[in-house]
Structure 1
Amino acid sequence: MSSSKQPVALVAGASGIVGTGIAQRLVADGWRVLCASRSGGGCVPGTEGIAVDLMDPQACRQALLPYEDISHVFYAAYQQAQSRAAEVAPNLGMLRNVVEAASAAAPGLRKIVLVTGAKFYGIQWGAVSTPCRESDARQLPPNFYYDQQDFLCQAQRGQAWSWVNLIPPFVSGFAVGNPMNLVLGIGIYAAVCKELGLPLRFPGSTGAYDALHQIADAQQIGAAASWAASAEAAANQAFNVANGDAARWRNTWPVIAASLGMEAAQPKTMPLADVMPDQQAVWNRVAQRQGLRGIDIAKIVDWAWVDYMLRMSHDVVLETGKIRRAGFHACIETDRVFVQRLRELQEHKVIPR
């Protein structure tokens, strides 16, 4: 981002997959990056940490008060709850707290970049009309993504800043400690299968194996967020963002297997939420032999969520013409970047080589 003054970003949710990707891209682009988290640690090299509980509005105001030079807010925080309805209050509340605190502290605030997801189009309820477009009619609530965008619409009135909502489909990226992590889940599942001398069977449904879908890697979301921060066309509207190619697990799964030195096998629907926690002894054997990090595989990954992702038997395809027409043209290859993410986990001794 070219400017005579260094832009200052506040990244909420920087410890997650998407937030990490955004923070990394902004650091590479020369931004000063502030990462808001409970611990207050800088989650990405080159960033500064701010200790704050995003659920506490007063704590947010106090924590951001010294940072009057914040120019942009990038919001990728998420609070899981037991139901769709229960997700609304905490996730809307955290966004409101961050936006109101940043607006009060930083008179030069220019843009708020929100990242939501394809649940905006109701993919969690079943098949939807594809490709999903930003102009599509909403589905029945509850859906906290709707509440978040509606809040930004209302809060922006009379303000100098504008907002953007980036909507990715499935997400890939590097993170450890984020249970909703498809790459890590597949990596651990593959390591257990390999140790037991089994081929890499696709554990989801046959419908999901053949369905057409898209992935947005955190690298691509970070690039889109950096673009949206300065693009004049990216103001007070939503944009779909994806890697640039559509994929099917039928084609991607053999690529993953080959990258891990395994044979791919046809789908066999397997309840990972039931069977993977029982593989700790197998995992411990692999980890001890290869000097891997000590992890509790029942907790490091949300296996019920992985089951949900790998059993989505309908197409999940977003129309990305709008963001391209507005000026964002980055494109990366899904299979290549998925393998790259597995390699990162290997390099950090999270999964075996």
Structure 2
Amino acid sequence: MCSNSLDSKDVALIFGASGITGWPLMRECLSYPSKNTFSRVLGLSNRPLSRETAYLPDDPRLEIYTGIDLLDKDQTRQTLETIPAIGEVTHVYFVAYTGHGRTAEELVRLNSALVDHALLALKKLCPRMKFFTLQTGGKGYATAGVPWPPAPWKEDLPRLPEPYASKIFYYAVYDVMIRHAAGSSWQWSEIRPSYLPGFTPHHNAMSIAHSLGLFIAFYRSVKGAGATCAFPGTPGSWEALHSDSSQDVVAHFHIYTSLHGDKTHGRSFNVADGEGTSWKVKWPIVCNYFGLKGVGPSAQVAGELQGTKWLLAQKYLWSAWAKDNGLKGDVLENMQWDILDTALSLPLRIDYDLGASREIGFQETMDVGKGFLVAFDRLRRAKFLP
């Protein structure tokens, strides 16, 4: 049942609170579906984080605890033990992740440890825990080397075969959760977003909104306001359908599933802004935000570098550009451009079927491209974009 009475005693705990889903969860747990849903909201982060630097509401219900190392089983439990009244926690949102750039085998080992250590501590310290959500994603549906299933992708697609399955950490962390849930009274759901445009209060090298925003903003600085910006992908990737899962929608879905356990317990769910979209629809929208005219790949000039290849060729200008625009740190140098390259160049349809999320009553949608625009606004405020 939905816990939103004025005297609610429910307490939310967020692992990975500084991340692209954890940050909006801290915000949205204070007001969604009402301001009375949770009496306390506890955000856990490994990295330093404060409500001021994270642009979080000045709400006494929000408590932030940093320095937790989920790779260390004992330190995880000890950190949780220091939180006043930790035993009151009722709803847990696990959106932590580690190991970008590591091998597939290392990702399995490291992220399995995160979930295992968190649940070992929770089972010991949080006897009132009602619900646990685990965030994974779409990589469990397809990987290189195996024919990709036809889209839209549904949650009941079978796991990939070996030797691929044992290298997909989403499967591994899910199995850890299931092992801990056996014989326990708390309920659970697995949440699967796709492309996740959003903001984090620190540099996030994997952020598709940040990397895209930097590329388009830099392009405008070089080419001028009102210039035409050709889509740097291919005709196939221009037309191919995919799903966007904007961070606020994803946060709301985590909360919604945790408050409707009678419908959601023991199930996996896709979450997205709405029906599948394409860069053909989105590119003009995101370019217009920066004062450019976004057009299709047919406008590319033969022989000219495109996309991140063009951007990397301008590297000698990066430092001065960032300084002139008052941006934080080496924002361009520290970005992982391969993620944006993949998103812009993938010619395959990879959109989600949302039948399961609609069937349980979650009807929230977001206009095409709006998730990127909201992220751009937040990144600008934090001086990550000009």
**Structure 2 length-normalised TM:** 0.84
Q: Note if 1:211 corresponds to 2:236.
A: no
Q: Note if 1:293 corresponds to 2:333.
A: no
Q: Note if 1:334 corresponds to 2:350.
A: no
Cα-to-partner distance string for 1:173-221 (whole Å, 9 max, x where unaligned): 1124111111111111112211211632323333211100110101000
Amino acid at match of 1:305: I
Identify which of 156, 167, 171 aligns with 1:135. Answer: 156
**SS of aligned partner of 1:167:** strand
Q: Which has the higher helix share?
A: 1
Amino acid at match of 1:291: G
Match of 2:207 in 1: 181
Match of 1:38 in 2: 46
Match of 2:79 in 1: 63
Identity %: 25
Amino acid at match of 1:48: E
Q: Note if 1:2 corresponds to 2:20.
A: no
Match of 2:339 in 1: 305
Structure-2 separation of matches of 1:193 and 1:69: 50
**SS of aligned partner of 1:298:** coil
Amino acid at match of 1:264: G
Identify which of 182, 191, 194 aligns with 1:166. Answer: 191
Q: Is the 8 A contact 2:132 2:186 kept in 1?
A: yes
Deviation at residue 277 of structure 1 after TM alignment: 4.8
**SS of aligned partner of 2:369:** helix
Amino acid at match of 1:343: D
Amino acid at match of 1:260: F
Amino acid at match of 1:118: G
Q: Is the 8 A contact 1:276 1:297 kept in 2?
A: no
Q: How many residues align?
A: 350
Identify which of 261, 270, 282 aligns with 1:240. Answer: 270
Deviation at residue 39 of structure 1 after TM alignment: 3.6
Query: Aligned in 2, Cα 1:288/1:298: closer, same or farther, shift over 3 Å?
Result: closer
Structure-1 separation of matches of 2:353 and 2:47: 38
Amino acid at match of 1:130: A
Match of 2:132 in 1: 112
Amino acid at match of 2:95: A
Q: Is the 8 A contact 2:97 2:111 kept in 1?
A: yes
Amino acid at match of 1:192: F
Q: Note if 1:257 corresponds to 2:291.
A: no
Match of 2:317 in 1: 282
Structure-2 separation of matches of 1:153 and 1:292: 43
Query: Aligned in 2, Cα 1:209/1:100: closer, same or farther, shift over 3 Å?
Result: same
Q: Give unmatched runs, 5+ long, in structure 2.
A: none
Structure-2 separation of matches of 1:263 and 1:244: 25
Q: Is the 8 A contact 1:214 1:246 kept in 2?
A: yes
**Comparing 331-340 with 39-48, which one deviates more in the overlay?**
39-48
**SS of aligned partner of 2:277:** coil
**SS of aligned partner of 1:314:** coil
Cα-to-partner distance string for 1:134-157 (whole Å, 9 max, x where unaligned): 111111312111111122222111
Structure-2 separation of matches of 1:255 and 1:101: 45
Deviation at residue 271 of structure 1 after TM alignment: 6.5
Structure-2 separation of matches of 1:333 and 1:190: 21
Cα-to-partner distance string for 1:325-345 (whole Å, 9 max, x where unaligned): 112111111322322222222
Structure-1 separation of matches of 2:144 and 2:49: 33
Query: Aligned in 2, Cα 1:124/1:199: closer, same or farther, shift over 3 Å?
Result: farther
Runs of 4 or more off by more than 4 Å in structure 1?
A: 123-126
Cα-to-partner distance string for 1:16-70 (whole Å, 9 max, x where unaligned): 1111122221122343221222245345444322231011011111111241111
Query: Aligned in 2, Cα 1:275/1:89: closer, same or farther, shift over 3 Å?
Result: farther
Amino acid at match of 2:64: G
Structure-2 separation of matches of 1:174 and 1:341: 5
Match of 1:11 in 2: 14
Match of 1:102 in 2: 122
Deviation at residue 99 of structure 1 after TM alignment: 1.2
Q: Is the 8 A contact 1:195 1:282 kept in 2?
A: no
Q: Is the 8 A contact 1:53 1:59 kept in 2?
A: yes
**Structure 1 length-normalised TM:** 0.92
Q: Give unmatched runs, 5+ long, in structure 1.
A: none
Amino acid at match of 2:90: S
Q: What is the root-mean-square deviation in Å for CA atoms of aligned residues?
A: 2.1
